[in-house]
Amino acid sequence: LHISAHDDQYQWDFRTHRKAGEIFASGSDPYDPNVLLNQEGASFLYTYPPATLCFYWLFSLTAYKTAFHIFLLVKCILLIGLIVFWKKAFLRQEGDSLFYLFSLLAFNCAVFLDLIAGNINLVEQILLWVGFFFYLKKRLVLFCVFALLAASFKMTPIFFLVLLLLCDHEKKYAYLVGAGSIFLAYLLIQYLILPDMFTGFIRNALTVVGESGVVGPSTQKFVKEIFRMISQMFGPVSPTIITMVVIGLAAIVVFLSSRACLLLKRSLIDHEDNQKIILFLVCLVYALIHPRFKDYAYMLLIVPSYYIMKNIRYTKAFPFLFIFAILASPHLILPGIDILSSIVWRYFPLIFAYTIWGLYLYEIYS
């Protein structure tokens, strides 16, 4: 209701993307900064493939306020469905009533941040989780279909095809090659039909750096923030060193996680949820190594986090982890260490994500 009453302030992503669809329909190039950024309501570059412009063009067929409320209403309905689906499909025993509160408040209220921004993230999440459901049911063709649909806007969710390598299906390599080929064809066809726009899409995607801190609490931004503080105290730090540290951290996350997945697959304890744990661990790896993981994107980790919190060996730790997950305020500064406190709260979702990742590794290695 609050967002609906302030249609001139919120869903800024939707405003820009809808305007890009409108420009596309008029025959102009929405990837040209001089065209898009001169439009009222557009505040940043369009960074999705040309085919996605058809989706946003549909919302330009009606007045902005009508489109605004339709988009918001549909997202609210989808969100309710997604949370219920999470609980029934992935948290059968763990899904108590506290999960609803956790979904709304975890990771700095990522769910609310998604509604405020008006991003396509929620649709992407639904497609991914439906795909994950089929993956656990070993219906890999449907998993590939939904993974490809989820990757059609931001492309990076194509990463989840790596799950095919972690299952025991005899045709997994054929599915991986087939899905990868379809995704490359999806991009190639757009390049052949709209070469100028596709080139503009690549240019914009590489140009956008992304916000840091609360809005973009990714590992890459966190490392850069730490080195920025170090440079203020001891002098400039080479960008090469920063890049090497980021790559090193990503390599450690991938190595330890892949080893944990192999341990689960080779385990003598044939737990029915082993494949689900592997899936959740891959979700964490994706979030931790993604160079531009936004605040609302942490929705992806709601289910993996709640699952391990309810299944850790020390069950009495659940209340403390629950409070830790939902207690995040950038206005809370610990006395005497203002700078450290500021960084902790600005990157709190990332810190909690690393905590959850550590819990998975601890449980698996133990």
DSSP letter string over 156-172?
A: GGGGGGGGGGGS--TTH
Closest CA to 153 of 121, 185, 188, 175: 121
| Confidence at 207, pLDDT banded by 50, 70, 90 | confident
Tell me the average pLDDT of the chain. Answer: 88
CA separation for the pair 13, 274 (Å, rounded): 38
User: Residue 141 CB: number of other CB atoms within 10 A?
Assistant: 11
CA separation for the pair 313, 315 (Å, rounded): 6
Confidence at residue 330, expressed as pLDDT on a 0 to 100 scale: 52
What angle separates helix 302-311 from helix 98-117, to the nearest 10 degrees?
Answer: 160
Give the pLDDT confidence of 17-75 residue by residue, as tens digits. 999 999 998 889 999 888 888 877 778 889 999 999 999 999 989 898 999 999 999 99
CA separation for the pair 147, 169 (Å, rounded): 17
**72-86: burial string, b at 16+ Cβ within 10 Å, e else:** beebeeebeebbebb
Cα separation values, 365 from 259, 262, 293, Å: 9, 11, 27
| Confidence at 272, pLDDT banded by 50, 70, 90 | low
Inform me whether the pLDDT recorded for 361 exceeds 70. yes
| Three-point CA angle 185, 189, 145, nearest 5° | 40
Confidence at residue 202, expressed as pLDDT on a 0 to 100 scale: 93
Q: DSSP readout, 252-295? A: HHHHHHHHHHHHHHH-SS--TTHHHHHHHHHHHHHHHH-TT--S
Confidence at residue 296, expressed as pLDDT on a 0 to 100 scale: 93
Residue type, position 236, single letter: P
Confidence at residue 183, expressed as pLDDT on a 0 to 100 scale: 96
Confidence at residue 216, expressed as pLDDT on a 0 to 100 scale: 87
Helix, strand counts (H, E) of the chain: 16, 0
Give the pLDDT confidence of 295-354 residue by residue, as tens digits. 999 999 999 999 999 888 776 778 888 888 877 655 554 455 555 566 777 888 999 999
Taking residues 232-261, report their average pLDDT: 91
The pTM assigned to this predicted structure is: 0.91
Residue type, position 207, single letter: T
- Percentage with pLDDT > 90 across the chain: 57
Contact present, 350 and 219 (Cβ < 8 Å): yes
Q: Which two tokens stand for residue 181?
A: 């080929």
First CA to last CA across the chain, in angstroms?
47
Confidence at residue 228, expressed as pLDDT on a 0 to 100 scale: 86
